Structure 1
Amino acid sequence: MTQRPWRRTGLKPPAPVALGVLLALALLALAHLPPAHLPASPDSSPRLLPAFPPPGTCREAAVPLSGERTLSQRPLIPPAHPWGDRPPSRGRRQRRGTAGDAPPWLSDDDLRKMQLLAGGQVVSKTRIPAHGQVLRVGLRAMGDTDWDSSPASLERDCQDGRCGLIKRPGDLYEVLAFHLDRVLGLNRSLPAVARRFTSHLLPYSYTDGSPRPIIWWAPDLQHLEDANNDQNSCALGWLQYQEMLRPRGLMPEARDGPCSSISRGEWSRLALFDFLLQVRRSAPSRLVFIDNAGRPQHPEEKLNFRLLQGIDSFPAAAVATLRSGRLQSLMLESLRLDRELWESQGGTEGLRPLLRTIDRRARILLRYIQEHNLTVFGDSLR
């Protein structure tokens, strides 16, 4: 006679009552389990909001970041600006009006200006003399109906800090340059974002879907001898510039010039920034770096070391960032805040070649500093 399985193991057959109790306990346990799509408790799985929406499929082909300064376009000399000389904050902060944490090298003032540039309603426009494809526009918060498009209204908006310069699509590199400036702790560039415009006030070429850079218009810059009033200062010859770099040395014609009071530290900041971007034109004691659409495709074997000629020290904070090996990751973290730039360039993969180029230039600059036994200076040097 064949034995049942439980008799082979020495077990007695389960009683019907016991089976019923076990089944009831199993059903009770299942009834108290949380749904599969929810965390077991409110604290066991925190809800995370991304700092920036993940990049999706680009709406159109990537627009190259290119361009460069021209001979007549030079950095400006402003009075002290609230965004010009702040020490980098420690840690990360949650910013009102932003999704997730903004990187600490962008101030609250930077973020407010970036939001105005990216989302402000275009309410007026005017062309900049001698710059056919550059428009100065007045901006207001969306929904603000208290505005008009008259020239007087534009001037009032610009004096209140509610204006921007729309530049060419090929000048998108200026946006990357702004983030590089902040990551390095130089804090000398004007806030800039990429934007696609739809305003009926703008010509069709501005509303065709191509992203363009828009740069914040600083109302208190000193325009010096610039008749075009386009945030550029007077020209400075190379020999005058080299003479001013010499300790206590000024050429007679430069002694009373508008650039004569600029400190060596300011020129050093500009030289470092321009070498990484491969720009150059410069320029009473503080500079603002503008027209920063450098040459991302400039070949490495033809880098312009003349930009560094006469510079004997560089800002310590910027050099430390270059030495950290984190320049690319810091730049990606910063650039994620600019949705239009991020998407138009293909996100991380699209921007990586540009950032590698800047990173290679940074390593070349560090080698130059070491080979020439150059020093660094702290933020206290102006």
Structure 2
Amino acid sequence: MGKSRSHWLCFPFLKLTGSFRRFPLSKRSLIIASVCVVYLFFVVSQVGYTQQHRDRRTDKDKYRHARGLYNLDFGDAPPDSADLQTGASFVVPTRSNVVYITLKSKRQKPANIRGTIRPKLRRKVRRSKSANSAFTQNKLGTLERDAGQRNFARKTSWGETGDVDYKSLDIIPKSHTDAQTDSHISSIRIYSQRAPPWLSPQDVKAMRFLADAKVLRIKEVSHGDSPSLLIFEGEAGGSVTNQKHSKLSNVCGGQCGVISSPVDTTEVFAFHLDRVLGLNRTLPAVSRKFSFLHDGQPCPVVSWDASLYPEGLAAGLSTVRLTWGEYQSSLKQRCWHKNSSPKPDSGCSTVHHYEWTKLALFDFLLQINNRLDQSCCGFRPRQEDVCVELGHHADCGDQNHIQLTNIIHRGHDPRHLVFTNNKGFFDRNEDNLDFRLLEGIKELPEQAVSVLKSRRLREKLLQSLFLDQTYWESQGGRQGIDKLIDVIERRANVLLTYINAHGIKVITMNV
């Protein structure tokens, strides 16, 4: 049965081959050539179809990737409907495209900050009244020279205000095209409808004003024995809280910013670090270029806060007077802890106990010594440091009587500190850190320490600093910012080791 079935199936093939053999040689060659041509055409058509199908899949993948790129958001989730209605965390994007900030999983070699960033060069000038007056004259002299107003005259006396009209100095953009470009493109780069969660809507609003507001007036003001301030008044809509301070209406009638020297760029980094750690004790700061100041170099601009001068400019900032010995005593007594009023003879200041812990952590990461260690008693200073030039370093023999400086609070809020004049140092090695800043500290804020432990400090700082395009570019872009963060990360590791070695408690501080 099987043999007959196979014979029946093979019979047509055998008959066809027998007929093919009886054909002449020429006809057989023609048939073979025709079959080869048909087979070749079939193979070519199949290869073309496969290539076309592959191209379509590639186009679909590109479209899918682009669609995901432009939907990138800083937040982990889409904005809620409640947020859109209240506007609590909703911001208007300033850019339409998106730039990825990628993080390397492991750095091969840590950046050496000493080989990449030069130490700050400080002029050897004495901090006296005459020196401050000369410094302010140089600043306004730059204004007059760049504006072409050689006949501009002003009075420089303590307590008086020098007022420079923006229009009279002819400080305008170089061309109408530049003015249009500046009005449409903000130096604050926000690509999504949500800014990083550690920046409040008020922070974003203040940053945009400081970076993009049209300068209407420049003022040089003097306050007490401190160096004078260079303040610009900008054009901004909406109500401003500073207007309620009638005593200071002659300083800033609207919304203003304080212009610092280009060497004080740490103010901008300090602002973002403060927000990332959740301390919220610094004033908003951005980097901005002024064509009529410092040859167009980027300058730190800090938000003006009139509440820091509750009794007027003549009285100066609202400062806490405290010596090092009294400060250590207040740390032991935990003043104002659990809202309990200290005894009248306790020597406690008006500052809450938790504020000192936040200040110590913040100052240690940035190595700011002009508050708790003005005399540079906790590290080896250099000859060009201010404490050596002014002879303060010699006072370390009697440390208990050294006066703390720059301890500032708002007039209506004496319990909380405001971190101003944040001049940090990135060129100080780990073997010369100022541990005096942590002396007497037995507790640290949990939120800030958790950020240091989470290994996400670099990611958050990159996202935050990337918003300020002028500062980002002035530090050398991603490469320069990474070197600065390298320093903070190494100090954070030293701080975490210090916490474990000294048994410092990490607690929640909601005061």
- Is contact 1:67-1:294 (8 Å) kept? no
Matched letter for residue 106 of structure 1: L
SS at match of 1:287: strand
Correspondence 1:213 to 2:305 = no
SS in 1 for 2:295: coil
Q: 1:366 aligns with which of 492, 496, 502?
A: 496
The answer (yes or no) to whether the contact 2:232–2:257 under 8 Å persists in 1 is yes
Match for 2:360 among 256, 271, 277?
271
Counterparts of 1:14 and 1:307 in 2: how far apart (Å)? 88
5+ residue gaps, structure 2, are 1-24, 71-96, 103-115, 129-187, 239-245, 336-341, 372-406, 409-413
Whether 1:350 and 2:480 are equivalent positions in the alignment is yes
Change (3 A) 1:214 1:53: farther
Matched AA of 2:306: P
User: Which residue of structure 1 lines up, in the alignment, with residue 471 of structure 2?
Assistant: 341
What are the ranges of 5 or more consecutive residues in structure 1 without an aligned counterpart? 55-61, 73-95, 145-151, 199-203
- Deviation track 1:160-195 (CA, whole Å, cap 9, x = no partner) reads 5x1111001010011000000011011111100001
Residue pairs, 1:156-175, within 5 angstroms: 158=252, 160=254, 162-175=255-268
Return the match for 1:237 from 305, 320, 323: 323
Cα distance, 1:66–1:291 mapped onto 2, change above 3 Å:
farther
Distance 1:311 1:379 in 2: 14
Does 2:191 correspond to 1:99? yes
Shift of 1:4: 6.7
Residue 262 (structure 1) aligns with: 351
- Alignment counterpart, residue 230 of structure 2, candidates 135, 144, 165: 135
Q: Deviations over 1:65-92 (max 9, x none)?
A: 9599x999xxxxxxxxxxxxxxxxxxxx
Cα distance, 1:164–1:360 mapped onto 2, change above 3 Å: same
* One-letter amino acid of the structure 2 residue matched with residue 337 of structure 1: L
Q: Deviations over 1:264-305 (max 9, x none)?
A: 111110110011111131341111111112111123212111
Q: How does 1:1-382 map to 2 (within 5 A)?
A: 7=32, 12=35, 45-46=66-67, 48=70, 49-50=97-98, 98-100=190-192, 101-129=194-222, 134-141=229-236, 155=249, 158=252, 160=254, 162-198=255-291, 204=292, 206-221=293-308, 223=310, 227=314, 229=316, 231=317, 233-247=319-333, 255=347, 260-280=349-369, 281=371, 282-283=407-408, 284-380=414-510, 382=511
Deviation at 1:221, TM superposition (A): 3.0
Shift, 1:155, TM fit: 3.3
Per the alignment, in what secondary structure is the counterpart of residue 314 of structure 1? strand
Which residue type is aligned with residue 139 of structure 1? Answer: G
Deviation at 1:116, TM superposition (A): 0.3
CA RMSD of aligned residues (A): 4.4
TM-score by length of 1: 0.70
Paired with 2:353 and 2:431, the residues of 1 have a C-alpha distance of 28
Tell me the amino acid that sits aligned with residue 305 of structure 2: A
The answer (yes or no) to whether the contact 1:114–1:191 under 8 Å persists in 2 is yes
Structure ranking higher in helix proportion:
2
1:132-158 deviation line (CA, Å, top 9, x unaligned): 57411111149x9xxxxxxx9x93784
Distance in 1, Cα, partners of 2:101 & 2:456: 23
Decide whether the 8 Å contact of 1:117 with 1:215 is kept in 2: yes
Please state how far the C-alpha of 1:220 moved relative to its aligned partner: 2.6
Amino acid at match of 2:363: D
Bigger relative contact order, structure 1 or 2, given CA contacts below 8 A and separation 6+? 1
* Offset of residue 228 of structure 1: 6.0
Give me the whole-angstrom Cα distance separating, in 2, the residues matched to 1:322 and 1:210. Answer: 33
Identity of aligned residues (%): 36
CA distance in structure 1 between the partners assigned to 2:482 and 2:298 by the alignment? 19
CA-CA distance at 1:334 after TM superposition: 0.9
Separation in 2 of the partners of 1:44 and 1:331? 26
* Alpha-carbon distance in 2 for matches of 1:254, 1:226: 31
Give the TM-score, by structure 2 length. 0.54
Tell me the secondary structure at the aligned position of residue 276 of structure 1: helix
- 1:133–1:167 contact (8 Å) kept in structure 2: no
| Structure 2 Cα separation of the partners of residues 196 and 115 of structure 1 | 14
Relative to 1, partners in 2 of residues 1:379 and 1:7: Cα closer, same or farther, differing over 3 Å?
farther
> Aligned in 2, Cα 1:214/1:67: closer, same or farther, shift over 3 Å?
farther
